[in-house]
């Protein structure tokens, strides 16, 4: 099976990240068959073996803990978490009636709202539990918990995650490769909200096993982790797979990757040309931990945009898979109605590897009737803005098919009852004795049976190493660069829901006390005051490729620091406001003791102006100052932040001109020993970048990302450590200014 992208005249690649060839050549430093999910590949956990008598006894006694015996549990998880809709009665109103009536009220949705109330009552019981302890308990009780471990060991899965397992169930069960693609021996697929890339890796494994000769062309979208205006709570920041396949990721007309951008649907349709996808997947969501009872409403706008994009680009008879949650609100009722009118077959599926206690499920939509079948409504829906969506319902209630509405009610009730049952069971065992040895034995037995059933049902076996998407010469090569944002995830699993709500409502002084306590650990205590970086690999001038995007007003995320510091920084900005926080956090240098005549001080600039303007002006200032330097001079940058790819690209170029870069805490960069011939080499390119960067035309980057995160990670490591040190001191400086802490 050929594994490549769409044709060259299709979607433009992220040109700032390099070509497909550079991606392939740069993959030698990474291995996603053996990444952080498979860190100890040689430590093989033994399979648990049971005699026939033990199996029979354990199978029957499972009912004491799970309420069902083994056979019933397997059937319930692998077969019963499914609802098939009859789509024959689904009809769309005329386009002129879309979004013309206010949202349906709770009385009109009384049956669904009753189910929602019952579910939220059960879910609210979890608010008092400490999150990390509760996760530990539910992990031990989760029947599918060991599936990933065995796939890692026995199947050698590339880039294994929970999402990989879930999608493999779906693609295997529903045969998502249309007959047209099989007949033409060519499959086009597009993957919305795909980061970190598990659906793509899972589909690749399935195709290699089941359709090895099929030519596969894929593209994917997600919020761009290298656009620092995107928020942490909405992104998946694990970029390791993305970096190796960056030419296949589309971040839209403004480089944010935001599919809710008004121009994104038309931009995408226009760039697909005739290579319309046979399969579209959408796995979008974002962090709803602070308001879990309203998860459905919170993500409904995203789900609508995912659906409209899919309907706009999918070819006739194609398939669409979208992750959703509950179906209690009019937004979801209308969306399901739209899908039923657009596809011949609609099925709601909760995969066996999806955690029992959450609301997650997947809508599998098969045999698209074609864009022409819904064109008038689709064209109108694509024009709807968020303000209209929040005020009005998609369809008038009177146009809702009663029979289809009843199907939605039965579906919502089915999945809510299963979720409530799982939560109640987990609570009952947690309150009794979660460390009971008999319970552990039964959990181990059930999890082992789930592994066997999952692998057998999905006919899983290894594929050749060279058939993986990221081809690597050595199986045991370990990923050296663990993105610091990935490490941050554990901090989001600490404290109860009540604790997190309380934290979000704290006044400034109390929040600073909490932060001060959190920053007293090994990571913070071992930060260095000085970090030296020698000159790195030479960057060819012709590698410059200017990429424009949406101007960044405030930095909300960064792949170049520990996510924990960025999260705390954002909390403080939310309390103080960006300008006040920057003023409080900035430690101005003592110019009387500064012995360097060649320096630029940007402290005030980044305090007073938005980030985009500050970046542009700082580059122009640096460019002008460079021509005052002589051979062998040193050059100091004060208050020059390194959180954005653009500013780091500037440092990459400066690093070519000086023999050494030294970070001095809290916010100084010392460039040592100038070489004028390198300045002459870069003179024209820097001038071009200065001219290109205007207030309305922001330069997001101008070098391939591989120069920052390449296989030689010394620069990336230095960068993260320097940013951690600076951010920690910024945060700590604000805390010290508050005498009550």
Distance of CA 548 to the CA centre of its chain: 22
**CA-to-CA distance for 259 and 268, rounded, in angstroms?**
10
- DSSP notation for 34-102: SSGGGTTTTSPPPPP---HHHHHHHHHHTHHHHSS-HHHHHHHHHTSSEEEE--TT-----GGGTT-EE
What is the dihedral angle through the alpha carbons of 191, 197, 198, 201, rounded to the nearest 10 degrees? Answer: 90
152, 38 Cβ separation under 8 angstroms? yes
| From 166, 208, 305, 550, active-site residue | 166
Give me the residues paired with residue 187 across strands. Answer: 216
Residue 323 appears among annotated catalytic residues: yes
SS3 597: coil
The residues, ordered by sequence, that sit 6+ positions from 429 with a Cβ below 8 Å of its Cβ are 65, 137, 141, 439
Q: How far apart are CA 11 and CA 402, in angstroms?
A: 42
Contact 672, 598 (CB under 8 A): no
Distance, in Å, from the CA atom of 412 to the CA atom of 116, rounded to the nearest integer, reads 9
How far is Cα 556 from Cα 701, in angstroms, rounded to an integer?
17
How far apart are alpha carbons 639 and 634 in whole angstroms?
Answer: 17
Q: What is the CA radius of gyration of the chain?
A: 27
Tell me whether residue 25 is exposed, middle or buried, using C-beta atoms within 10 angstroms of its C-beta: 0 to 12, 13 to 18, 19 or more.
Answer: exposed
The pair of structure tokens assigned to 194 is: 């795909």
Peptide bond preceding 35 in cis form (omega within 30 of 0):
no
C-alpha to C-alpha distance for 567 and 195, rounded to whole angstroms: 20
- Out of 283, 601, 633, 634, the active site residue is 283
Contact residues for 58 (Cβ-Cβ < 8 A; gap 6+): 50, 70, 441, 442, 445
Q: Which segments of 397-539 are extended strands (E)?
A: 530-534
* Catalytic residue status for 166: yes
Residue of 81, 156, 305, 323 with catalytic role: 323
How far is residue 292 from each of residues 100, 110, 286, 359, 498, measured CA to CA in Å? 29, 21, 11, 10, 12
Which are the catalytic amino acids?
A: 166, 283, 323
């Amino acid at each position: 099976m050929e594994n490549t992208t769409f044709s060259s005249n299709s979607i433009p690649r992220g040109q700032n990240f390099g070509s497909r060839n550079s991606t392939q050549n740069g993959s030698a430093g990474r291995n996603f068959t053996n990444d952080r999910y498979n860190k100890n590949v040689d430590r093989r956990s033994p399979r648990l073996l049971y005699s026939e008598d033990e199996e029979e006894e354990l199978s029957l006694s499972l009912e004491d803990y799970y309420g069902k015996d083994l056979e019933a549990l397997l059937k319930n998880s692998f077969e019963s978490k499914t609802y098939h809709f009859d789509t024959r009665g689904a009809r769309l109103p005329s386009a002129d009636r879309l979004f013309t009536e206010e949202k349906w009220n709770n009385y009109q949705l009384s049956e669904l709202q009753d189910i929602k109330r019952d579910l939220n009552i059960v879910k609210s019981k979890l608010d008092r539990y400490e999150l990390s302890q509760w996760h530990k308990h539910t992990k031990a009780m989760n029947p599918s918990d060991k599936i990933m471990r065995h796939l890692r060991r026995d199947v050698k899965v590339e880039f294994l995650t929970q999402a990989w397992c879930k999608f493999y169930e779906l693609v295997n069960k529903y045969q998502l490769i249309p007959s047209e693609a099989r007949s033409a021996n060519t499959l086009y697929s597009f993957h919305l909200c795909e980061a970190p890339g598990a659906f793509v890796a899972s589909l690749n494994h399935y195709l290699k096993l089941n359709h090895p000769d099929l030519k596969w062309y894929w593209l994917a979208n997600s919020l761009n982790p290298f656009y620092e205006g995107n928020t942490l709570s909405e992104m998946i920041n694990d970029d390791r797979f993305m970096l190796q396949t960056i030419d296949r990721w589309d971040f839209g007309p403004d480089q944010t990757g935001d599919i809710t951008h008004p121009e994104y649907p038309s931009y995408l349709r226009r760039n697909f040309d005739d290579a319309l996808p046979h399969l579209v997947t959408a796995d979008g969501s974002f962090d709803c931990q602070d308001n879990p009872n309203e998860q459905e409403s919170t993500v409904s706008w995203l789900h609508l945009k995912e659906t409209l994009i899919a309907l706009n680009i999918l070819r006739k008879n194609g398939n669409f898979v979208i992750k959703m949650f509950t179906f209690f609100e009019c937004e979801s009722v209308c969306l399901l109605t739209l899908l039923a009118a657009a596809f011949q077959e609609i099925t709601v599926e909760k995969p066996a590897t999806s955690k029992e206690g959450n609301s997650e499920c997947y809508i599998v939509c098969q045999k698209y009737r074609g864009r022409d079948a819904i064109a008038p409504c689709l064209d109108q829906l694509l024009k709807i803005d968020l303000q209209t969506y929040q005020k009005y319902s998609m369809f008038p209630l009177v146009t809702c098919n009663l029979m289809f509405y009843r199907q939605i009610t039965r579906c919502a009730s089915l999945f809510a009852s299963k979720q409530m049952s799982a939560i109640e069971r987990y609570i009952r065992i947690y309150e009794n004795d979660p460390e009971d040895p008999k319970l552990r034995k039964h959990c181990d037995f059930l999890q082992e049976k789930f592994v066997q059933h999952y692998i057998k049902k999905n006919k899983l076996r290894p594929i050749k190493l060279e058939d993986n998407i990221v081809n690597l010469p050595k199986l045991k090569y370990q990923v050296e660069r663990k993105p610091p944002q990935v490490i941050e995830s554990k901090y989001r699993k600490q404290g109860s829901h009540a604790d997190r709500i309380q934290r979000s409502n704290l006044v400034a002084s109390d929040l600073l006390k909490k932060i001060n306590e959190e920053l007293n650990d090994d990571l913070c205590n071992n930060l260095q005051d000085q970090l030296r970086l020698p000159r790195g690999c030479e960057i060819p001038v012709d590698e410059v490729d200017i990429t424009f995007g949406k101007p960044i007003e405030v930095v909300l995320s960064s792949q170049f620091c520990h996510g924990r510091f960025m999260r705390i920084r954002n909390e403080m900005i939310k309390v103080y406001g960006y300008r006040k926080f920057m003023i409080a956090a900035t430690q101005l240098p003592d110019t009387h003791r500064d012995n360097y005549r060649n320096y630029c001080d940007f402290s005030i600039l980044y305090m007073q102006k938005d980030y985009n303007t500050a970046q542009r002006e700082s580059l122009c200032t640096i460019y002008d100052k460079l021509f005052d330097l002589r051979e062998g001079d040193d050059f100091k940058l004060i208050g020059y932040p390194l959180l954005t790819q653009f500013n780091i690209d500037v440092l990459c170029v400066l690093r070519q001109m000086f023999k050494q870069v030294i970070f001095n805490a809290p916010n100084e960069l010392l460039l040592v020993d100038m070489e004028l011939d390198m300045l002459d080499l870069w003179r024209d390119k820097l001038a071009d970048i200065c001219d290109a960067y205007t207030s309305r035309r922001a330069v997001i980057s101008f070098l391939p990302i591989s120069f920052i995160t390449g296989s030689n990670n010394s620069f990336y490591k230095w960068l993260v450590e320097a940013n951690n040190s600076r951010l920690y001191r910024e945060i700590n400086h604000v805390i010290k200014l508050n005498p009550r802490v």
